[in-house]
C-alpha cells in the first residue's frame, strides 16, 4: 500500500537518530497507528499501548481539561491537561524507570517543568508543578542557592538523578502560564523531542459524547469569486436566517469550528482527533495531528482562520493548503483543498469529525454552482504598491535607516510586503511599518529587523535604547543588541518598528506586609512591573542573605519564604533590573512576632 504524504513524512522524522533497538519498536508502533489513520479507521487510540505508559501519572481518574494538539495562540498544545479537582499538591509518579534529563523553571510557559528520559526511547514531561520531590527537589534548591537564580533551564547528565517506576517525583500546581491547577503531561521521543499524543498509548478514560460542530464557513479564494453574490466569507452553519440557498461562483474553500466535550456539562472545548471534508462523496481534505515537532508548532496560524481566532478565539480549521505551509497535518487530496465547480448543479459538502474514542459527528450542506454569474473585478484591490516576496526565497529590504530580512519559508505563500513610515510620539525614530497584503499571518519564525541609531544620542544613554514593535495600541520591546551603529532585533510578528529610550526603572510594591509592622504570614509577596523593556533580573535578601524569590508571571509578583526570618526586626530587600539595566531597590523592616 502506498503511504500518504502525512504518514511517510512523520515516519521518516520519528525514526531519525534513534538506536536500532528502540528504532524498530517505536517505528513499528507509530507505523501501526498511522496506517490505521491513513485507512480511515476512526478509533486508533491504544494502538501505541505500552504497559509502561498506560497508567496515569497521578492517582485521580482521568479527566481532561485539554487535549493534544488543541489550537492555542501561535502553537499546538503539546500534551494532555489532566484535571486535579481544582487543587494543587496532587502527587505525580514516574510511569517507568529512567533518569531526570532536564529541569526548566520559568515565570511563564510551563512554569516548573520536569523531564524524565526512559530506556525504551521515550521521554515524559510534567508542567505547571508546584514542587519537585526527593533528590530532584534537593538538586533544584541547591542549584538555585548556588547560582542565585529562581528560573533556570538545564540538561542533566544521564543517570545523575535516577528514577524508578512509581516513584513520587513532584506535586501538581499552577505555575507558569497555567490558567488553573492541573498537570500538563507529555510523551515524547527521547532523541529529538518529537511529541506524541499520549491518548494513543492506551490511557483509560471515558468519552461518550460526540464532537460538536459549532460553525462552518465558506470563503472566496480570490477577488473574483462570490458566495451568494458577495466577495466575502459566509457562515453557513448554523444557518443564517433568511438564507435558503447557497450559490457559489468561482473558486472557494471551507472552514469548520469544532470541539469535543468529554463529560456532560463540561465547559471545556477540547480538541478533536480528525476532520474530513467530502465533496460529492470524494475525500478532499483531512486534518489530524497525531505527533509534531516543536519547530512546526507555529504552523497552527496558517491552518486556521487567523483573523477570526484573533477576534474571539474561535478556531475555524481551513481546507485550503498554502504552498509555503510544510506541515503534515492539513492534507489536501486535490487542488490544495480549494473547490470549484464548472456546472450549474447542486453539490454536497459533508464534514465528518471524530474524537479519540471514535465518536463521530457529521454535518452536510448543499451549494449550487453558478457558472453564469459575472465574476467581480475590483481594480482597487488588484492595484499593487507592495514589494513582491517569494515564499521559498530569502527577502531583504534595505532602506537608509531600516533593514528587514525574512528567511525562506518564513511566510506561507507568495505575497507583497506593504512598507511605509510614519512619525509617532515617545519614540526616537520614524516608525517603519511592515505587513503582508494578502495573508495577514505572523511569520513562521522570527524576522530580523535593524534600525540605525539616530545622531546625537549621548553615550550614557546608548545602552538604554531598545527596538519596539507596535501593533495597534500595543507597544512591546524586542530583545535588542547594538552593532556598528545599528540596533538589531528579532520579531515574531510584523508591525511598526522604531527605537525607543527606556530610562524608567521597574517598580516594587509590597502586598502582604508593611514596613515597621508585625508580619504573621509565612510568605512575603511583592508586585513588580516595568514600563517597557521588562524585568530581566531580580534578587531578594533577608538579613543580608540571598533567598529564592519565586516569580509568577500571571500575577506579576515575587514570593519569598519567610521561614528564615528570626523573631523581632528583620531587614528585607528586593532589587529589580530591567533589560536595559535600570535598577530599583527597596528595603523594609519586617517584624516577626
Three cell numbers at 69? 494538539
Q: How far apart are CA 315 and CA 211, in angstroms?
A: 15
Residue with cell 468529554: 262
- Say whether the peptide bond before residue 238 is cis (omega within 30 degrees of 0): yes
Strand ranges in 202-313 using DSSP code E only, listed in sequence order: 212-220, 226-227, 234-237, 247-249, 252-259, 274-279, 282-288, 291-292
Which pLDDT value is given to residue 77?
A: 95
Q: Which residues pair with 436 in a beta bridge?
A: 417
User: Residue 205: helix, strand or coil by DSSP?
Assistant: coil
Is 91 within 8 Å of 111 (Cβ atoms)? Answer: no
Residue with cell 511563564: 108
Nearest to 231 by CA among 362, 416, 377: 377
Which pLDDT value is given to residue 533?
A: 93
Three cell numbers at 58? 497521578
Q: How far apart are CA 97 and CA 167, in angstroms?
A: 9
The 3-state secondary structure of 376-434 reads CCCHHHHCCCCEEECCCCCEEEEECCEEEEECCCCCCCCEEEEEEEECCCCCCCCEEEE
Q: How far apart are CA 115 and CA 101, in angstroms?
A: 6
Domains of the chain: residue spans and CATH: 5-201 (2.70.70.10), 212-369 (2.70.50), 384-501 (2.60.220.30), 507-592 (2.60.40.1220)
Which pLDDT value is given to residue 262?
A: 81
| Count of C-beta atoms within a 10 Å radius of residue 454 | 12
Nearest to 543 by CA among 559, 527, 563: 563
Q: How far apart are CA 395 and CA 65, in angstroms?
A: 42
Q: How far apart are CA 332 and CA 315, in angstroms?
A: 19
Q: How far apart are CA 397 and CA 387, in angstroms?
A: 9
Is 487 within 8 Å of 481 (Cβ atoms)? Answer: yes
Q: How far apart are CA 33 and CA 26, in angstroms?
A: 11
Which pLDDT value is given to residue 381?
A: 46
Encode 204-232: b = buried (16+ Cβ within 10 Å), e = exposed: ebebebbbebebbbbbbbebbbbbbeebe
Q: Would you say the C-alpha torsion 222, 225, 231, 234 has a positive or negative sign?
A: negative
Which pLDDT value is given to residue 327?
A: 86
Task: Name the DSSP letter for residue 328.
Answer: S
Task: Name the DSSP letter for residue 504.
Answer: P
CA dihedral 579, 584, 589, 593 (to 10 degrees): -30
Q: How far apart are CA 296 and CA 275, in angstroms?
A: 19
Three cell numbers at 587? 528595603
Q: How far apart are CA 533 and CA 536, in angstroms?
A: 8
Q: How far apart are CA 296 and CA 306, in angstroms?
A: 17
Q: Rg (Cα) of the chain, in Å, rounded?
A: 27
Q: Which residues contact 5 (CB under 8 A, 6 or more apart)?
A: 328, 331
Question: Per-block average pLDDT, block size 10, for the chain (593 residues)?
Answer: 41 37 48 52 48 85 91 94 95 96 96 96 96 97 97 96 96 95 95 92 87 96 93 87 79 96 80 96 95 93 95 94 90 95 94 94 95 63 75 97 97 96 92 93 96 93 95 89 96 96 96 92 94 94 96 95 93 96 96 91
| Cα of 385 vs its chain's centroid, Å | 34
Amino acid at each position: 500500500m502506498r503511504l500518504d504524504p502525512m504518514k511517510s513524512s512523520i515516519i521518516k522524522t520519528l525514526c531519525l537518530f534513534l538506536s536500532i533497538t528502540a528504532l524498530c519498536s517505536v517505528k513499528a508502533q507509530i507505523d501501526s497507528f498511522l496506517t490505521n489513520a491513513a485507512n480511515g479507521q476512526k478509533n486508533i487510540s491504544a494502538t501505541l499501548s505500552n504497559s509502561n505508559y498506560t497508567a496515569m501519572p497521578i492517582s485521580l481518574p482521568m479527566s481532561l481539561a485539554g487535549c493534544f494538539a488543541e489550537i492555542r495562540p501561535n502553537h499546538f498544545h503539546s500534551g494532555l491537561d489532566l484535571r486535579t479537582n481544582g487543587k494543587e499538591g496532587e502527587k505525580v509518579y514516574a510511569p517507568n524507570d529512567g533518569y531526570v534529563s532536564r529541569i526548566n523553571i520559568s515565570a511563564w510557559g510551563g512554569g516548573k517543568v520536569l523531564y524524565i528520559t526512559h530506556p525504551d526511547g521515550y521521554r515524559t514531561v510534567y508542567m505547571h508543578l508546584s514542587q519537585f520531590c526527593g533528590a530532584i527537589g534537593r538538586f533544584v534548591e541547591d542549584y538555585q542557592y548556588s547560582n542565585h537564580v529562581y528560573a533556570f533551564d538545564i540538561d542533566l547528565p544521564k543517570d545523575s538523578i535516577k528514577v524508578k517506576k512509581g516513584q513520587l517525583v513532584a506535586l501538581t500546581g499552577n505555575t507558569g502560564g497555567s490558567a488553573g491547577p492541573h498537570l500538563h503531561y507529555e510523551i515524547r521521543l527521547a532523541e529529538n523531542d518529537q511529541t506524541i499524543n499520549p491518548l494513543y498509548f492506551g490511557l483509560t478514560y471515558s468519552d461518550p459524547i460526540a464532537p460538536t460542530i459549532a460553525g462552518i464557513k465558506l470563503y472566496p479564494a480570490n477577488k473574483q469569486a462570490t458566495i451568494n453574490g458577495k466577495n466575502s466569507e459566509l457562515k453557513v452553519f448554523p444557518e443564517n436566517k433568511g438564507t435558503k440557498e447557497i450559490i457559489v461562483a468561482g473558486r472557494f474553500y471551507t472552514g469548520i469550528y469544532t470541539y469535543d466535550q468529554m463529560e456532560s456539562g463540561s465547559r471545556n472545548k477540547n480538541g478533536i482527533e480528525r476532520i474530513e471534508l467530502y465533496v460529492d462523496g470524494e475525500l478532499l481534505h483531512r486534518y489530524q495531528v497525531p505527533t509534531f515537532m516543536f519547530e512546526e508548532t507555529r504552523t497552527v496560524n496558517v491552518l486556521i482562520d487567523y483573523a477570526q481566532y484573533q477576534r474571539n478565539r474561535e478556531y475555524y480549521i481551513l481546507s485550503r493548503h498554502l504552498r509555503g505551509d510544510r506541515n503534515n497535518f492539513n492534507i489536501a487530496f486535490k487542488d490544495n483543498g480549494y473547490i470549484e465547480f464548472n456546472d450549474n448543479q447542486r453539490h454536497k459538502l459533508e464534514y465528518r469529525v471524530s474524537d479519540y474514542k471514535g465518536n463521530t459527528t457529521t454535518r452536510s450542506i448543499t451549494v449550487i454552482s453558478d457558472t453564469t454569474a459575472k465574476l467581480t473585478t475590483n481594480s482597487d484591490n488588484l492595484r499593487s504598491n507592495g514589494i513582491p516576496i517569494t515564499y521559498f526565497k530569502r527577502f531583504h529590504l534595505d532602506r537608509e535607516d531600516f533593514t528587514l530580512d525574512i528567511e525562506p519559508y518564513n511566510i506561507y505563500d507568495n505575497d507583497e510586503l506593504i512598507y511605509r513610515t510614519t512619525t509617532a510620539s515617545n519614540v526616537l525614530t520614524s516608525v517603519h511599518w511592515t505587513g503582508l497584503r494578502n495573508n495577514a499571518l505572523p511569520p513562521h519564525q522570527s524576522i530580523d529587523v535593524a534600525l540605525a541609531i539616530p545622531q546625537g544620542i549621548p553615550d550614557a544613554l546608548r545602552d538604554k535604547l531598545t527596538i519596539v514593535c507596535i501593533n495597534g495600541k500595543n507597544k512591546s520591546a524586542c530583545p535588542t543588541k547594538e552593532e556598528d551603529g545599528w540596533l538589531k532585533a528579532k520579531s515574531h510578528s510584523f508591525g511598526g518598528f522604531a527605537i525607543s529610550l527606556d530610562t524608567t526603572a521597574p517598580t516594587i510594591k509590597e502586598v502582604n506586609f508593611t514596613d515597621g509592622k508585625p508580619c504573621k504570614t509565612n510568605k512575603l509577596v511583592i508586585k513588580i512591573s516595568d514600563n517597557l523593556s521588562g524585568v530581566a533580573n531580580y534578587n531578594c535578601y533577608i538579613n543580608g542573605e540571598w533567598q529564592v524569590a519565586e516569580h509568577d508571571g500571571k500575577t506579576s509578583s515575587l514570593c519569598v519564604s519567610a521561614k528564615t526570618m528570626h523573631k523581632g526586626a528583620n531587614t528585607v530587600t528586593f532589587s529589580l533590573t530591567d533589560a536595559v539595566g535600570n535598577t530599583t531597590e527597596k528595603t523594609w523592616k519586617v517584624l516577626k512576632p
